[in-house]
């Protein structure tokens, strides 16, 4: 499924009842339950290069569950000869069909008989169909690439079915709850090859076309339609030397990229073995393919036995790519292999469960990365990134619950790419792992997998398995269930703030909770509360980290003893739970005193230092805490040696930087940032020095990026000197002399502070680059120039796929909006060319919402809010309806306006 994309990576780098899912909301758009599919036989003939179409026949064996005279299934964008549709009883006796009709709005096909279908009887529905292989990356579509050897355009055809694309490729019951077995045969021209979910069993000559062959694949286990996959191409196959002979692991890619498969081909079999042990369940198929697709529309798609990915999601050159690129590939491969069990073997009943499908694969995936590459120590970094993805969007009044009701099919897409779906889930699962314990958590997951394999389940089924195991092991009170706890986190919007008020004379502390909002509402929402496991430490006992009790609706104003002589108390040890903590001023000052002592600051755990930074800045932004206190806390950074606190600080301070962009006072803030960065920059200023270790490399990258951004000392000159030295080198495409781990920030800063010559040089490197991950950072760098004529040209090129791949057009636009010199150009470009952009994206309105969101994130005045609201109304024909993204966009601008009006002068002072 679609990942939180490159945009989010760049962002980081630079009441309960009302929310309960209501099954009635989805019934209108779901299939009737009269039939249950048992098996599909799917025969598809693919015509590439000449006709760009496909033809086929599907035979669906199904059991009648409830008496009816009509079979209802999904079909859209297909040509079907209704007179050729046949229904047979048990595959033998033909049942007369009186009518075949289509509901195009709901993408349904109705096959009506002259007699009633009988419950418990089996029927076979046979439907011939044809369809076009279009460029639209959904259903069964076509893709081209240029072969490096011959310089000729080659074509392939590949499927992308999640969430509703299978119905575009063949008529089917296209809902995740309708699992069935699949027997697939693919016919294609000789000289090409085909792959599908299952192992190839046989190949024969095609009886209909003399120059075609038919590939027949094993029958699959029961699976959902969105996980069916097949592809026809001229790609090459790279086999792993696997110890696990039962599972054949392969990578399929363009011939000229085969030399970039070594890392992934060695990793895959080890990951499969890891998950077999973790889930205590053997991999259920005989093979696992990973196929890279040029300009694949999303990061990855976890089809059972045939994962499809962007080329940059799988392919890596260990001599050229950075350690962050390697980490990204490892995480994506490991994430999608986790889905083979959690999502494919056990599948959600309906799209409401998407968060669990994606959140769980992401959580066990980052745990598996930590296991496979312990030297990286990446778990803490990734967990922090998830927090940073969630904290701001989930603090908006317009935020949605994690488990969101899906009323209409077009409501699936907005949540599929939402950071709430991908990042909040892992945070909550880590919280649950912490309060249940690793043994209980793992065994509960295993019980769940064993019980529901080859079928469907929902979050309550998982909560039940975990509760039973927790009660068996004694890790959860018998009167408490996982559902009680977790429903408060998944079925309601947002997250809490824990208010900590100490009575120093009485030696007590009072805890209460409320929802945290970045824009204060008129009244406190006392109805919203969460089950919060309380952990704490004090200046007197820094090892006190076990959960002592729960804070919930019944004890939401709880007073407990606390020794008078404790200088400070800190809650939420290791930041394992998603909430902010607000202390009284005296407690804050006690914490600040310890932080600013170079000999004592490390007595506060690293992740708690991170939370103190994030919370203090956030409380200042909403007006609950004076900025003076926050900046006193931030002074301690001059002796901070760890990456995570610096990352949290610079990420959060970016909000202030954005507030001051395009204002006369930004120089004051930049001067302050130079002071903050000065000491840590001295540690990393020699860019030729090699740094070891994943976290240290990221630390160096972070410091150099920000030091140059804020013009610290000689940073810009050092970057320009290195870049210009590369420009003068012989064969710069194959001899990049820049330090590998610093080349991306060097690209960006050299283009930002360089001229036309530097820009043109990097553009040539982008055109000749064969590594997608590197290309994306080059795109970001090219958007960083301050030369307006270059930015204008770059914007125009973004709508010409001979310069920029269509999938990257919105990225170019987004990168330019981040540029202080480019924002107004990008905004005017969108306003003037919205119709052209709309047509370029084949009338997909959600793409336009992305553009609106990019512009709005940089807006901070009432005039700008009125301007974009007026534009949205005037351009309403391009937006189907004011959707979640538009609502969030407006609230983001309002939040920026409030921040600007309240704190602009205070921050500068």
For residue 577, give the 3-state DSSP assignment: coil
> How crowded is the C-beta side of 178, counted as CA atoms within 13 Å?
28
Could you give the C-alpha distances from 195 to 186, 304, 832, in angstroms and in order? 8, 12, 44
Q: Provide the angle, in degrees to the nearest 10, between the axes of the packed helices 884-908 and 862-874.
A: 170
443 φ/ψ sector (left φ>0, alpha ψ -120 to 50, else beta):
alpha
Question: Which one, of 183, 247, 241, 240, lies nearest residue 215 by Cα?
Answer: 183
Question: Which one, of 151, 100, 95, 321, lies nearest residue 774 by Cα?
Answer: 321
* Helix, strand, coil percent values for the chain (each to nearest 5): 45, 20, 35
**Alpha carbons 310 and 31: distance in angstroms, whole number:** 33
Q: What residues contact 897, with CB distance under 8 A and at least 6 apart?
A: 860, 861, 862, 865
Which tokens belong to 456? 């469907």
358 is in an annotated binding site: yes
**Alpha carbons 710 and 716: distance in angstroms, whole number:** 9
Strands 580-583 and 300-301: unpaired
> How crowded is the C-beta side of 888, counted as CA atoms within 13 Å?
22
Could you give the C-alpha distances from 377 to 19, 328, 347, 595, 611, in angstroms and in order? 37, 14, 31, 24, 19
74 is in an annotated binding site: no
Residue with tokens 């360089």: 754
Rg (CA), the chain: 28
| DSSP letter for each residue of 607-633 | HHHHHHHHHHHHHHHHTSS-HHHHHHH
> How crowded is the C-beta side of 787, counted as CA atoms within 13 Å?
18
**Alpha carbons 495 and 488: distance in angstroms, whole number:** 10
Q: What residues contact 474, with CB distance under 8 A and at least 6 apart?
A: none
Residues 87 and 125 sit within 8 Å (Cβ to Cβ): yes
Question: Which one, of 488, 489, 587, lies nearest residue 536 by Cα?
Answer: 587
Question: 692: how many CB neighbours lie within 10 A of its CB?
Answer: 8
Residue 97: Cβ-neighbour burial (10 angstroms; 0-12, 13-18, 19+):
middle
Give, for 356, the enclosing helix (H) or strand (E): helix 354-372
Question: Which one, of 323, 382, 331, lies nearest residue 361 by Cα?
Answer: 331
**Alpha carbons 278 and 285: distance in angstroms, whole number:** 17
Give, for 110, the enclosing helix (H) or strand (E): strand 108-117
Strand order in the sheet with 230-233: 139-146, 153-160, 230-233, 193-196
286 is in an annotated binding site: no
| DSSP letter for each residue of 390-438 | HHTGGGSTT---SS----SGGGHHHHHT-HIIIIIHHHHHHHHHHHH-H
Tell me the binding residues. 335, 339, 358
Tell me the binding residues for Zn(2+). 335, 339, 358
């Amino acid at each position: 499924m679609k990942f939180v994309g490159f945009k989010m990576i760049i962002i980081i780098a630079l009441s309960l009842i009302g929310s309960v899912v209501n099954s009635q909301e989805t019934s209108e758009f779901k299939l009737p339950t009269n039939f249950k599919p048992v098996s599909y036989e799917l025969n598809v003939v693919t015509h590439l290069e000449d006709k760009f179409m496909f033809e086929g026949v599907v035979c669906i064996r199904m059991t009648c569950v409830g008496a009816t005279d009509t079979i209802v299934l999904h079909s859209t964008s297909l040509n079907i000869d209704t007179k050729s549709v046949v229904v047979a009883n048990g595959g033998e006796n033909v049942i007369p069909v009186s009518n075949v009709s289509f509901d195009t709005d709901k993408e349904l096909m109705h096959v009506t008989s002259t007699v009633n279908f009988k419950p418990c009887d089996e029927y076979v529905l046979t439907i011939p169909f044809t369809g076009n292989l279009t460029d639209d990356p959904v259903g069964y579509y076509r893709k081209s690439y240029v072969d490096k050897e011959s310089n000729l355009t080659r074509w392939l055809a590949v499927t992308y079915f999640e969430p509703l694309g299978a119905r575009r490729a063949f008529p089917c019951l296209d809902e995740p709850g309708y699992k069935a077995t699949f027997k697939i045969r693919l016919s294609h021209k000789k000289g090409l090859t085909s792959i599908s979910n299952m192992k190839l069993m046989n190949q024969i000559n095609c009886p209909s076309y003399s120059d075609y062959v038919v590939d027949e694949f094993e029958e699959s286990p029961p699976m959902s339609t969105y996980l069916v996959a097949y592809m026809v191409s001229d790609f090459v196959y790279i086999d792993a030397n696997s110890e696990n002979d039962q599972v054949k692991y392969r990578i399929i890619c363009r011939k000229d990229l085969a030399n970039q498969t070594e890392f992934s081909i060695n990793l895959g079999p080890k990951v499969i073995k890891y998950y077999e042990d973790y889930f205590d369940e053997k991999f259920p198929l005989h093979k696992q393919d990973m196929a890279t697709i040029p300009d694949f529309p999303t990061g990855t798609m976890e089809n059972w036995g045939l994962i499809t990915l962007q080329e940059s999601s799988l392919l890596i050159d260990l001599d050229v790519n950075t350690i962050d690129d390697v980490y990204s590939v490892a995480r994506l491969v490991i994430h999608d292999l986790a889905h083979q069990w959690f999502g494919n073997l056990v599948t959600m009943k309906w799209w409401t469960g998407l968060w669990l499908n994606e959140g769980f694969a992401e959580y066990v995936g980052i745990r598996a990365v930590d296991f496979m590459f312990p030297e990286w120590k990446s778990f803490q970094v990734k967990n922090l990134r998830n927090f940073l993805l969630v904290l701001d969007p989930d603090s908006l009044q317009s935020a949605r619950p994690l488990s969101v009701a899906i009323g209409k099919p077009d409501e699936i897409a907005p949540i599929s790419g939402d950071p709430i779906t991908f990042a909040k889930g892992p945070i909550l699962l880590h919280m649950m792992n912490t309060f249940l314990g690793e043994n209980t958590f793992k065994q509960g997951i295993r019980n769940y997998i064993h019980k529901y394999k080859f079928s469907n389940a929902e979050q309550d089924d998982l909560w039940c398995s975990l509760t039973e195991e927790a009660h068996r092991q004694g890790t959860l009170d018998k009167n408490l269930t996982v559902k009680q706890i977790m429903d408060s986190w998944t079925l309601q919007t947002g997250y809490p703030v824990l208010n900590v008020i100490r009575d120093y004379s009485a030696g007590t502390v009072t805890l209460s909770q409320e929802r945290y909002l970045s824009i204060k509402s008129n009244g406190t929402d006392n109805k919203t509360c969460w089950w919060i496991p309380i952990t704490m430490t004090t200046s007197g006992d820094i090892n006190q980290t076990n959960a002592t009790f729960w804070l919930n609706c019944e004890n939401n104003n709880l007073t407990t003893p606390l020794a008078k002589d404790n200088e400070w108390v800190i809650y939420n040890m290791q930041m394992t739970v998603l909430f902010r903590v607000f202390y009284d001023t005296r407690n804050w000052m006690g914490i600040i005193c310890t932080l600013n002592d170079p000999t004592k600051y490390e007595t506060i755990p690293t992740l708690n230092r991170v939370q103190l930074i994030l919370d203090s800045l956030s409380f200042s932004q909403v007006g609950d805490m004076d900025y003076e206190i926050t900046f006193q806390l931030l002074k301690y950074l001059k002796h901070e040696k760890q990456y995570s606190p610096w990352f949290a600080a610079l990420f959060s301070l970016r909000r202030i930087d954005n507030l001051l962009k395009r204002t006369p006072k930004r120089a004051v803030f930049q001067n302050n940032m130079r002071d903050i960065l000065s000491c840590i920059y001295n540690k990393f200023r020699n860019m030729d020095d090699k740094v070891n270790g994943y976290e240290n490399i990221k630390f160096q990258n972070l410091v150099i990026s920000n030091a140059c951004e804020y013009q610290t000392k000689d940073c810009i000159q050092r970057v320009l000197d290195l870049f210009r030295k590369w420009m003068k080198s012989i064969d710069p495409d194959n001899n990049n002399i820049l330090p590998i781990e610093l080349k991306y920030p060097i690209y960006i800063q050299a283009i930002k502070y360089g001229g036309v010559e530097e820009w043109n040089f990097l553009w040539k490197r982008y055109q000749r680059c064969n590594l997608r991950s590197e290309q994306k950072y080059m795109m970001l760098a090219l958007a960083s120039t301050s030369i307006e004529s270059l930015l204008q040209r770059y914007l125009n090129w973004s709508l010409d796929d001979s310069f920029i791949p269509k999938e990257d057009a919105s990225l170019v636009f987004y990168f330019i909006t981040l540029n202080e010199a480019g924002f107004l150009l990008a905004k005017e470009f969108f306003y003037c060319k919205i119709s052209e952009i709309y047509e370029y994206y084949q009338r997909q309105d959600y793409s336009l919402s992305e553009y609106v969101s990019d512009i709005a994130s940089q807006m901070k005045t009432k005039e700008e809010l009125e301007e974009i609201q007026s534009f949205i109304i005037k351009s309403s024909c391009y937006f189907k309806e004011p959707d979640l993204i538009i609502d969030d966009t407006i609230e983001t601008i309002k939040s920026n306006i409030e921040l600007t009006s309240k704190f602009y002068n205070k921050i500068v002072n």
